[in-house]
Structure 1
Amino acid sequence: MALDISCFFLVALFSASCEAIASSDLTCIEKETNKTYNCENLGLSEIPGTLPNSTECLEFSFNFLPTIQNTTFSRLVNLTFLDLTRCQIYWIHEDTFQSQRQLDTLVLTANPLIFMAETALNGPVALKHLFFTQTGMSSLDFIPVHNLKSLESLHLGSNHISSIKLPKNFPTEKLKVLDFQNNAIHYLSKEDMESLRHATNLSLNLKGNDITRIEPGAFKSTVFQSLDFGGTLDLLVIFRGLQNSTVQSLWLGTFEDIDDKEISSSVFEGLCEMSVESINLQKHHFLNISSNTFHCFTSLHELDLTATHLRQLPSGVVGLHNLKKLVLSANKFDNLCQINAASFPSLTHLYIKGNEKKLALGTGCLDNLENLRLLDLSHDDIETSDCCNVQLKNLSHLQSLNLSYNEPLGLKTEAFQECPQLELLDLAFTQLRVNAAQSPFQNLHLLKVLNLSHCLLDTSNQHLLDGLPALQHLNLQGNRFPNGNIPKTNPLQILESLEILMLSFCDLSSIDPQAFAQLKMMNHVDLSHNRLTSSSIEALSHLKGLYLNLASNSISIIPPDLLPILSQQKTINLRQNPLDCTCSNVYFLEWYKENMHRVKDIEATLCANPPLLRGVRLSDVTLSCSITAVGIFFLIVFLLLSTVALIFAVKYFLRWKYQHI
């Protein structure tokens, strides 16, 4: 009976009340205090009065503003960025933005504009970026030309425009980007180009217009940063039309849904009559490619032949000594030697990614590329039992190597001896068979970034990462550790320069408190998607200023003694953990509210317990864990009963003592 009373008393004494204060109101999200706000998709028909006058950046897309006037934004005089995408705007009246003198970027994308007053843009004296994409525009005369002297980019894609001729007096002196993609432009005249004569180093985008004719001499003596004719089927029209022009980058690629015809070598004759440094020809179909195909490519620095159905590049190609970057991705090579690399002796960047056939590396296929700095051989189904010294012979200046998403590779000790200058090595999703209890990377003394994610590594090999004194970024995502534990002695301990460590999806359940003791330079640790509990946080006690990702683990209660470790970190992510929102976790919940500036993904950091609060954001929970009125009553009763019991006990003891004298 006494035991039952005591239990009842304790329950009453330590009972706690809890409540969730959650708001269902749709309000703008403050992204930067008093400056940046996101009000997207809230069904608003006016600017909320809660936005401060100091607002500088406003994302207001997917709301309802059929008509905007000079009073709509008049209060927000400090605006520099305004996004009004899909706000169902039909009318823009006079002097609408007269108060926004500092407006830099205005986005009116996907609004069915019917009317825009001549003086609509009179206010912003420094407007640089203007977006009229998908507004139903059919004529450039619709655009108010006043007060656009600072304009740097004009985006007019996905409309019904048939001519690129800009309105008279349209200021182009500072214009750097002019985007006409996916319109109805099929003819370019001298008059069209004359309207752009004051623009220098302009990037002109005509992608998706299928140009069928260019007036001879239209581009004569013009200089462009880039020209994009993507989707144009007749390349002969383009090359003839661009005679005597200068273009830094020329994009002539086509698309999957376009029925492309095969192109012959004669199409490229026009290249000899123009100056161009970079050409993209992706997804075209070459017919009978030969060494003569490239005789007008001598001035090129970059050439992109992605998905051009190539099975082999011809030998004997001459004159491509200026070529620095070559992209041969998504083709049909059987062997790396079929690219005849000797034709491109000055290459610094080579991409053969996503080859449609299983690619054999061959032996010494890249011997002549001694200047190569970057090599991408990812997604090529490459498989070899002895990688990679024979295959990468003479690439002593290589700095970046990507062999990710391939078939199993066998790595012996010093597997990359031929590439001692490597700074980045990506082997993600390629099963690695390390053939000895040594490090295959031990000669890579300059390596800074190593991606070993999902490589099925033997992490019990204590020497796996030896010889990497400069390593700063290590990705071990998806590799498992014995028994789901990172012990005190592990292959990571030697990486004293490590700054970023990725250990997500490693099925970890525990980390020894001394596991990272030697890693004192770390500033980013990703331990997400494991089975870790709060006890593993102790392994980070010696680190400060971390971006710490603990999302999707098994953390429920974080004891008070671990909170100082969290307090010394810069950013913490605890989303999708089974967090306890009862008084058992009250110290952490108090810490959480006081440190929300450190917390990432607040919206997804939810309670899992008790059931009443399951799914409620931690930020909306208020606990009251002090003694309740009922508890105070029972405490008084308990003290009174204890006092009475003590008095009777003393009397009983004294009586017993005298009776036995």
Structure 2
Amino acid sequence: MAPAISCVFLVALFSTSCEAIASSDQMCIEKETNKTYNCENLGLGEIPGTLPNSTECLEFSFNFLPTIQNTTFSRLVNLTFLDLTRCQIYWIHEDTFQSQHQLDTLVLTANPLIFMAETSLNGPKSLKHLFFIQTGMSSLDFIPMHNLKNLESLHLGSNHISSIKLPKDFPTEKLKVLDFQNNAIHYLSKEDVGSLQQATNLSLNLKGNDITRIELGAFKSTIFQSLDFGGTLDLLVIFKGLQNSTVQSLWLGTFEDINDEDINFSVFDGLCEMSVESMYLQKHHFFNISSNTFHCFTSLQELDLTATHLKELPSGIVGLKSLKKLVLSANKFSNLCQINAANFPSLTHLYIKGNTKRLDLGTGCLENLENLHLLDLSHDDIETSDCCNLQLKNLSHLQSLNLSYNEPLGLKTEAFQECPQLELLDLAFTRLRVNTAQSPFQNLHLLKVLNLSHCLLDTSNQHILDGLPVLQHLNLQGNNFPNGNIQKTNPLQTLESLEILILSFCDLSSIDQQAFISLKIMNHVDLSHNRLTSSSIEALSHLKGIYLNLAANHIGIIPSGLLPILSQQRTINLRGNPLDCTCSNIYFLEWYKENMQKLEDTENTFCANPPLLRGVKLSDVTLSCSITAVGIFFLIVFLLLFTVVLIFAVKYFLRWKYQHI
């Protein structure tokens, strides 16, 4: 009978009353305490009274404010950023922002503006960024000019504007960005461009306007940071109009299916009459290039020929000897040697990514590029059984190499011996076949960043990461460890300089307590999307102040003994775990509420157990784990019964002892 009584007692003793106190959700999401709020798409017709007066940044798009008056935002005197995108605003009255003296950025994108009062922008003392994109505007006279002397960027895209001429008194002294993309501008006169002369190093965006005529000399003696004529069909018009001008970046790319004709290379003769540092010619058709095609490109430092249908570049090209950066992505090369790298002896950055044909690396195709610092060969379907010393011959100054998203690569010992200066190596989503027990990276003594995500790496090879004394960032996402366990002896042990470790999606179920003991300076550990339980947290006991991502694991109950390890970290993400919200986890739940400032993504961190609280945010749960009245009753009954049984047992024992004297 005693065991039965004990069971009844235990059930009663640990019976708890469990209730969830869900606080009413704020309509607006607080992104930074008392400063930044997101009120997007809530169907609001006014500014919520719950927003504090100290609000500085307010995202209020996709609400309903057909008319804005001087009382609409009067309480929010500290606003610096205000986004009113798609709020169906028609009227902006006098002195609307008279109280917002610190307003820096105002976004009025996609509002059908009919009227803006002359004094509507009088309040802000330092308004720098104005967005009037897709407002139906047809004339710049619509914009109130008062109080815009500090304006740095004006965005007017997707309207019906036909001229870039600014009003006579429009302040341009500090203007750096003027965006007219996708308007109805087809002609640029001297007078139009002349209205911008007080702006220095201006970036002017005319993309999608299809300029058909520029008055001769319109851009004479002007200096621009950037000019974007993207989508303009007739490049001859552009180069003639830009004679005697200075432009740091000139964008002349076109759009898909707009221009199917081969480019007439004679249009580039106009470059001889102007100064350009960077030119972008994406998606034009480059066929039959001759050695003299680029003879006017001598001042160019950067050239982008992305998706220009190139199959080969001839040798002996004139005009590109000074080129520092070349982009040949999304073209049709079959072999890397077809770019004839000797044409660009000064090159420091080369991008050939997303080649539309399988790219053969050849042998020594880039050996003339001894100054090359960055090489991007990602998404090229490259496959080789012996990478990469023959292919990267003489690239001794290379610092960044991207071979991600390619076909299987075979790596031998010191596979990157030709590139001892490498600081970044990206092999993500490229299957690696390591043909040696030694590390293929062991000569990379300066490597700081190594991306091996989804490489199907053989992590049972204890030496695969040897020889990386200064490695700081290692991404092993999507690689599996033997039996889902990182043991005490593992390939990470030699990486004593490691600061960032990513082990998400590695199908991990456990981590030995000593697995990371040699990694003493880590500050970022991502263990998300695995099968880890709370016991693996012990492996991090020697680390303090780290960002710890444990999202989407199998963590249910976190014992009180592990809470000090979590307490000593900077930021923790527990989203997507089957977290227990019963009294069995009470110590963790109390800790959770007391340490909300450490926790990330709390809006999506929910209870999984018990069923009644499934889907409730942890921050909204309050448990009462004291003994209930029923529990007290059973405890008293148990104690009485226990006392009676004990008395009878003592009497029986004494009687038995007396009888055997």
Same fold at TM > 0.5: yes
Q: Is contact 1:529–1:551 with CA below 8 Å preserved after alignment?
A: yes
> What's the counterpart of residue 461 of structure 2?
461
* Residue pairs, 1:329-348, within 5 angstroms: 329-348=329-348
Distance 2:655 2:584 in 1: 46
Q: Which residue identity lines up with residue 37 of structure 1 in the other structure?
A: Y
> What's the counterpart of residue 363 of structure 1?
363
> What's the counterpart of residue 614 of structure 1?
614
Deviations 1:255-284 (A, max 9, x none): 114234221210111111110000000000
Distance 1:472 1:56 in 2: 36
Structure 1 residue 23 displacement after superposition = 4.1
Indicate how the Cα distance of structure 1 residues 589 and 166 shifts in structure 2: closer, same or farther if over 3 A, else same: same
Q: Is contact 1:26–1:42 with CA below 8 Å preserved after alignment?
A: no
Distance 1:378 1:93 in 2: 53
Structure 1 residue 643 displacement after superposition = 3.1
Structure 1 residue 25 displacement after superposition = 4.2
Q: Which residue identity lines up with residue 194 of structure 2 in the other structure?
A: E
* Residue pairs, 1:255-294, within 5 angstroms: 255-294=255-294
Q: Which residue identity lines up with residue 464 of structure 2 in the other structure?
A: L
1:252 aligns with 2:262: no
> What's the counterpart of residue 596 of structure 1?
596
Indicate how the Cα distance of structure 1 residues 482 and 660 shifts in structure 2: closer, same or farther if over 3 A, else same: closer
> What's the counterpart of residue 381 of structure 1?
381
Distance 2:577 2:46 in 1: 38
1:156 aligns with 2:127: no
Q: Is contact 2:5–2:638 with CA below 8 Å preserved after alignment?
A: no
Q: Which residue identity lines up with residue 431 of structure 1 in the other structure?
A: R
* Residue pairs, 1:184-195, within 5 angstroms: 184-195=184-195
Deviations 1:195-240 (A, max 9, x none): 1110000000001111111111111111000000111111111111
Distance 2:491 2:573 in 1: 26
Indicate how the Cα distance of structure 1 residues 654 and 460 shifts in structure 2: closer, same or farther if over 3 A, else same: closer
Distance 2:583 2:460 in 1: 41
Q: Is contact 1:279–1:302 with CA below 8 Å preserved after alignment?
A: yes
> What's the counterpart of residue 563 of structure 1?
563
Structure 1 residue 88 displacement after superposition = 1.0
Distance 1:18 1:510 in 2: 32
> What's the counterpart of residue 230 of structure 1?
230
> What's the counterpart of residue 70 of structure 1?
70
Q: Is contact 1:348–1:374 with CA below 8 Å preserved after alignment?
A: yes
> What's the counterpart of residue 57 of structure 1?
57
The farther-off stretch of 639-648 and 624-633 is 639-648
Deviations 1:472-516 (A, max 9, x none): 001111111111111111110000000011111111111111111
Deviations 1:400-456 (A, max 9, x none): 000111111111111111100000000111111111100111100000000111111
Q: Is contact 1:351–1:375 with CA below 8 Å preserved after alignment?
A: yes
Q: Is contact 1:64–1:89 with CA below 8 Å preserved after alignment?
A: yes
Q: Is contact 2:215–2:241 with CA below 8 Å preserved after alignment?
A: yes
Structural RMSD (CA): 1.3
Q: Which residue identity lines up with residue 509 of structure 2 in the other structure?
A: S
Structure 1 residue 40 displacement after superposition = 1.3
Deviations 1:297-334 (A, max 9, x none): 00000000000000011111123222100000000011
> What's the counterpart of residue 444 of structure 1?
444
Structure 1 residue 522 displacement after superposition = 0.5
Structure 1 residue 609 displacement after superposition = 1.0
> Gaps spanning 5+ residues in structure 2: where?
none
Q: Is contact 2:175–2:199 with CA below 8 Å preserved after alignment?
A: yes
3-state SS of 1:537 partner = helix
Deviations 1:597-625 (A, max 9, x none): 11111122111111111111111111111
Q: Is contact 1:254–1:260 with CA below 8 Å preserved after alignment?
A: no
1:297 aligns with 2:294: no
**Structure 2 length-normalised TM:** 0.98
Indicate how the Cα distance of structure 1 residues 260 and 647 shifts in structure 2: closer, same or farther if over 3 A, else same: same
3-state SS of 2:12 partner = helix
1:401 aligns with 2:408: no
Distance 2:394 2:658 in 1: 106
Distance 1:209 1:470 in 2: 50
Distance 1:78 1:413 in 2: 61
Deviations 1:63-97 (A, max 9, x none): 11111100111111111111111111111000000
The farther-off stretch of 638-647 and 354-363 is 638-647
Runs ≥4 in structure 1, deviation > 6 angstroms?
none
Percent identity (aligned) = 89
Q: Is contact 1:240–1:270 with CA below 8 Å preserved after alignment?
A: yes
> What's the counterpart of residue 418 of structure 2?
418
> What's the counterpart of residue 495 of structure 1?
495
Structure 1 residue 591 displacement after superposition = 1.0
Structure 1 residue 553 displacement after superposition = 1.0
1:29 aligns with 2:29: yes
Distance 2:256 2:20 in 1: 52
Q: Is contact 1:388–1:416 with CA below 8 Å preserved after alignment?
A: yes
Q: Which residue identity lines up with residue 191 of structure 1 in the other structure?
A: E
3-state SS of 2:157 partner = coil
Distance 2:429 2:644 in 1: 75
3-state SS of 1:622 partner = strand
Structure 1 residue 339 displacement after superposition = 0.5
3-state SS of 1:291 partner = coil
Distance 1:3 1:42 in 2: 59
**Structure 1 length-normalised TM:** 0.98
Q: Is contact 1:215–1:241 with CA below 8 Å preserved after alignment?
A: yes
> What's the counterpart of residue 512 of structure 2?
512
1:19 aligns with 2:7: no
Q: Is contact 2:259–2:284 with CA below 8 Å preserved after alignment?
A: no
Structure 1 residue 471 displacement after superposition = 0.3
Q: Is contact 1:264–1:289 with CA below 8 Å preserved after alignment?
A: no
Count of aligned pairs:
661
